[in-house]
A and B are shown apart, each in its own frame.
Chain A
Amino acid sequence: EPEVTQTPSHQVTQMGQEVILRCVPISNHLYFYWYRQILGQKVEFLVSFYNNEISEKSEIFDDQFSVERPDGSNFTLKIRSTKLEDSAMYFCASSGSLKVPYEQYFGPGTRLTVT
């Protein structure tokens, strides 16, 4: 069964450093998303991406964040200058057909620890 994959599974970085989180969505999907989950809290939407541009972003997704689909398979989230409060699980998701665009499938997540 197709699945969303994410790398790395765990990333430790120092405050102020740049990180890139990588995702490979399900191959025929058209819509891509990033969410985050701070330990013990709700899953929160960050950004959605369709047709090579951002469709929607939350107030969390400020100028420090960017997304890119550099090729036909990868989808990345970049945090330019990490803060302690960016420590969280980051989930990539994708959804497929235009008929059910919001049936989103999540990856296993990248645990980001900012020290």
Chain B
Amino acid sequence: QKEVEQDPGPLSVPEGAIVSLNCTYSNSAFQYFMWYRQYSRKGPELLMYTYSSGNKEDGRFTAQVDKSSKYISLFIRDSQPSDSATYLCAMSDRNQGGKLIFGQGTELSVKP
């Protein structure tokens, strides 16, 4: 079983839709959960950072962590064409020197 699994998509939605992106993981030691956005041939851009379980909201973005199910989500409300990118989940545990384990990334396209 892969440590972090993420559906690569592609996912295509109309402008204004609510987008749900998800990752599952197998390592119960993970405590830090991140979502990055990556445009083609660019570096990952940190969107959200969550420690342990719970929800975190930042503008149109909401991150959720359910440690009991080993499942994390990123919701994007009122999606815009500028949100079109690849979204990467990443996670870490405190005993691994900051090593992030990334998902495959989900390619999102928001159509005007």
| A-side interface residues, number (CB < 8 Å) | 27
* With contact pairs A42-B104, A48-B98, A48-B99 given, residues A106 and B45 touching in the complex (Cβ less than 8 Å): yes
> Which segment, of A12-20, A66-74, A97-105, faces chain B?
A97-105
Summed over the interface, the residue pairs from A and B with CB atoms below 8 Å come to a total of 64
Main secondary structure of the interface of A (DSSP, over half): strand
How many chain B residues touch A (CB < 8 A): the figure is 25
Given A102-B32, A111-B41, CB of A56 within 8 Å of CB of B100: no
Q: Which of A33-80 contact B (CB under 8 A)?
A: 33, 35, 42-45, 48, 50, 55-56, 58
Contact A109 B104 (CB under 8 A): no
Point out the residue from B32, B46, B101, B103 that lies within 8 Å of A45, measured CB to CB: B101
Distance (Å) between the CB of A104 and the closest chain B CB? 6
Contact with A along B9-50 (1 / 0, CB 8 A): 000000000000000000000001010100001111110010
Q: Which residues of B contact A (CB under 8 A)?
A: 32, 34, 36, 41-46, 49, 51, 88, 90, 92, 94, 96-105
Chain A residues proximal to chain B, CB less than 8 Å: 4, 31, 33, 35, 42-45, 48, 50, 55-56, 58, 89, 91, 95, 100-109, 111
